[in-house]
Amino acid sequence: MSQAQHPWRRLRVWMASGVALSLGTSLWAQAPEPERLPPPVGAAAAPAAQPPTLTLIDCLRLACERQPALAAERSSVAAAHTQVRALQQLGAAAKVTNPDLPIRRQQACLGVEIAEARLKQAEQDLGYNVMRLYFTVQYARSQKKIAEEIVESFGTYQKQVSEAVKDGKGPKEWTSSTVDKLTVYLRMAESKRIEAERGVERAQGALKELLGGGEDFPFLIPDEPLPEPKPKVMREEIIGLALSRRGEIIQTSRGAEVFDLEVAAQGKTLLPGKVSTFAAGGDIHATPVPLGTTYGEYRPSAVGPEMPTMLAGSRCSRMDRARDFASRASAVAQKTHNLIVLDAEDTYQRYLTARDQTAALRDAAKSGAQLAEDTRADFRGAQKVKIEDVLTNEVLSAQARTQFNEALLNYVIALASLERVTAGGFCAGFAEAIAKPPEGK
């Protein structure tokens, strides 16, 4: 294979992997704007207001305040508290007709803990998604800058070689084919710049939804490089925090207690017949169960609880059946425990991979940038530089820099994932890292 083919192959690799994008502040008052009078005739129009610039802390606060999914979970918590108050307000007469009332009150109190744990889990998931998209916007901008640089370089090469070939003043190896080759590289680099521009818009649009914004929700994200916090991360600590703080653990463990109490509740009704269960007052499957997969990467599925709204039969039969469902609830709690451990272990390993890849690619990105700069200087200084070497060095530099940016994005997302998997018990140190420039900047 000739040397002229190598830049093409490298550019294809760069195109495939380099620029692929991952899909409260007092900034808005809720009161309607006052009616605006038209400006006087001949007066200059007032400049449009600049959209507010949101930091990561601003985005997290806004999402917590405005995201409808959190509002829904807060309503569920309020409903659980209302249920407790309603049962507490029932008097002595209700206890005569409902001998299981004291147990239903206990179950309702546990239901409040379950709803609050689900809310906490939703808050952590939302925070993770906000950080992931916020950093994706910054990553997309970095990729856009690299694409713009290589477009500018290829444009310079194409113009200079084209003029030299037209005037007949260039080296003899510069021909119309050389111009065509440079044109191909230039147009392909322009396509990557366009893709990066759309990537910024897509990431910011997804972030807007997380912030609870509608169609008219302008805002800006600071044009800053990705942060590079370097916290101390220990495997045992991550797993321990996950098991002690995750909302899923709390939900399933308290749920098992609710199921155990159902056995006693069924025993309060001595006569045979149909007796309502706690499920008659709520949907125990309201929280979706993650589905697993047996193809590709192993991802085991969770196990969901079961409880009908009515149990029928004699007192002993109803209690026996309630015990069976309680046993299933205990298995659900154990399965959830195992999945949380797996999630924490997998997240930790992903962090190690991203950390090591970032360190390995850092020097490559620096060397690549220097290589491209030296090549441009030699070319502009009329040094004897082969056009194939120019293309190879430019593409190699772009590939190294884009891969480093991608590795750095994976690193900060991995740190955000550690915060998520530990339900906020682990602190990645993003605030401190954002306050100071990253290494090598």
Residue 303 has pLDDT above 80, yes or no: no
So what's the pLDDT on residue 202? 92
What is the distance between the alpha carbons of residues 14 and 235, in angstroms, rounded to a whole number?
Answer: 34
Among candidate residues 240, 22, 261, the one with its CA nearest the CA of residue 142:
22
So what's the pLDDT on residue 11? 42
H helix intervals, 44-91:
56-66, 68-88
Q: Which residue has the higher pLDDT, 180 or 50?
A: 180
So what's the pLDDT on residue 173? 82
Cβ count near 74 (within 10 Å): 15
Phi, psi of 83 (to 5 degrees): -60, -40
Phi, psi of 293 (to 5 degrees): -145, 145
Query: Which stretch of 124-128, 210-214, 333-337, 358-362 has the lowest confidence by average pLDDT?
Result: 210-214
The overall average pLDDT reported for the chain is: 83
Query: Which stretch of 128-137, 190-199, 232-241, 386-395 has the lowest confidence by average pLDDT?
Result: 386-395
Q: Which residue has the higher pLDDT, 88 or 17?
A: 88
What lies within 8 Å, CB to CB, of 243 at 6+ separation is 249, 337, 340, 341, 344
For CA atoms 403, 435, 193, 386, the dihedral sign is negative
So what's the pLDDT on residue 157? 86
Tokens of 412: 């900060």
Q: Which tens digit of pLDDT belongs to each residue from 34-79?
A: 444 455 555 455 566 788 899 999 999 999 999 999 999 999 999 9
- Secondary structure letter of residue 44 according to DSSP: P
Question: Once rounded to an integer, what is the mean pLDDT over residues 242-264?
Answer: 93
Residue 422 has pLDDT above 60, yes or no: yes
The fraction of the chain above a pLDDT of 70, given in percent, is 82
Question: Once rounded to an integer, what is the mean pLDDT over residues 321-350?
Answer: 94
Q: Which domains does the chain have, with CATH numbers?
A: 52-274+312-435 (1.20.1600.10)
Q: Which residue has the higher pLDDT, 1 or 391?
A: 391
What is the distance between the alpha carbons of residues 95 and 387, in angstroms, rounded to a whole number?
Answer: 91
What lies within 8 Å, CB to CB, of 286 at 6+ separation is 76
Cβ count near 94 (within 10 Å): 11
Q: pLDDT-derived band of residue 169, with 50, 70 and 90 as boundaries? A: confident
Question: Once rounded to an integer, what is the mean pLDDT over residues 138-146?
Answer: 93
Radius of gyration of the chain (CA): 31
Q: pLDDT-derived band of residue 83, with 50, 70 and 90 as boundaries? A: very high
Question: Once rounded to an integer, what is the mean pLDDT over residues 354-380?
Answer: 88
So what's the pLDDT on residue 183? 92
So what's the pLDDT on residue 17? 41
